[in-house]
Structure 1
Amino acid sequence: MRYVALLRGINVSPRTQIAMADLRALLEGLGYGDVRTHLRSGNALFTAAEEDAAGLAARIGRRCAEELGVGPAVILRTVPELRAVVEENPLEVRDPARFMVVFQAEAPDRKVVDGIDPALYAPEEVAAGRRELYMYFPDGLRRTKLPALLEERSRVPATMRNWNTVTRLLSLGESSP
């Protein structure tokens, strides 16, 4: 099975630094094949015979903590699941750099999303998917309101990627062995 691993909070501060070569070596050391990384933000593609995504994610997170000193949340999607994320996007992508997908370890609690008054985060937009939240930030990412509002109300592990990264990861996943 071909997977995309999204590690939360990698290379955003000096204490979360992980070289992508080290991440590749770690994944290969776990026995995964066809390992490839994309950008410096903790995106990796790999092939594993195991189909227990939660187990794979936990194993990768533990090994990152043991070997690299950083224990990130690890969110996994298979390449077909990532294809569905792209195809089922409920919002218009007006600017791919300002359009984000928040990948969650489990389905978003729609009560949390619906329970936040849109006036608190306007003009930002949000829509829930299967295990994702789709967000648009027309004013850019410097002073967003919505992510903090959602994070304080939800305890589900999650990580955010912009649309360019999401579609590039899909392309890499579909073109890889």
Structure 2
Amino acid sequence: MTTTYALLLRGINVGGHRKVPMAQLRSVLEELGHRDVRTYLQSGNAVFTTDAAAADEELATAIEAAIEEHFGFRVDCLVRAHDYLAAVAENCPFPAAELEGRQLHAFYLSRPVDDSRFAGIDREAFLPEAFALGDRVLYLYAPDGLGRSKLGEALSRPALYKDVFATGRNWNTVLKLVEMTGPAH
């Protein structure tokens, strides 16, 4: 069965560090046997089609190994199919249609987490900013953008992610990845 996936790389091409040129990333994915490889922006978003009957985690592990071999450093990767990406967009607890893309973010998580992980964050203290958890995703509403978000800063503390990693995308990118992985791509 052919499936189209989005590949989300964490922490590349930021401030001139851990450079992964998108043309080279496409080549790495093609060398792994994936087809219809496309990238979106320079921040680590790719879409590919494969016939591999592997789980998301298996695909991500193979891609991480290939990236490390090619570029010489390890990059955390998430691989998610269209149905999952569409569900993240559909299940957003914030009024996405009424917001600018910079005001809403999805932080894709490597595994499920529960609210107890964030019990030490006083949600009331950060209003009107807010966050909510979904299926392997943390939604962040930051009306002034992520760069000015005090809640985003509190949510980025490494202690919250000891056994899980997260990679964030603004809402415009969330919707673009849904589109790019969809049946009419």
TM-score norm. by structure 1 comes to 0.92
| Local SS of the residue matching 2:64 | helix
1:140 to partner: Cα distance: 1.7
1:97 to partner: Cα distance: 1.7
Task: Look up the match of 1:44.
Answer: 46
- Quote the RMSD (CA, aligned, Å): 1.5
Structure 1 residues not aligned, in runs of 5+: none
2:171 to 142, 157, 163: 163
Distance in 2 between the 1:89 and 1:17 partners?
31
| Local SS of the residue matching 1:80 | helix
1:144 to partner: Cα distance: 2.3
Task: Look up the match of 1:97.
Answer: 102
Identical-pair percentage:
39
1:173 to partner: Cα distance: 1.1
| Local SS of the residue matching 2:131 | strand
2:85 is the counterpart of 1:82: yes
Distance in 1 between the 2:9 and 2:95 partners?
26
2:138 is the counterpart of 1:138: no
1:148 to partner: Cα distance: 3.6
| 136-145 vs 80-89, which moves further | 136-145
Task: Look up the match of 1:67.
Answer: 70
Contact 2:102-2:146 at 8 Å conserved across structures: no
Alignment size in residue pairs:
176
Amino acid at match of 2:57: A
| Local SS of the residue matching 2:102 | coil
| 108-117 vs 1-10, which moves further | 108-117
Contact 1:120-1:145 at 8 Å conserved across structures: no
1:120 to partner: Cα distance: 4.5
| Local SS of the residue matching 2:5 | strand
Structure 2 residues not aligned, in runs of 5+: none
1:108 to partner: Cα distance: 2.3
Contact 1:57-1:74 at 8 Å conserved across structures: yes
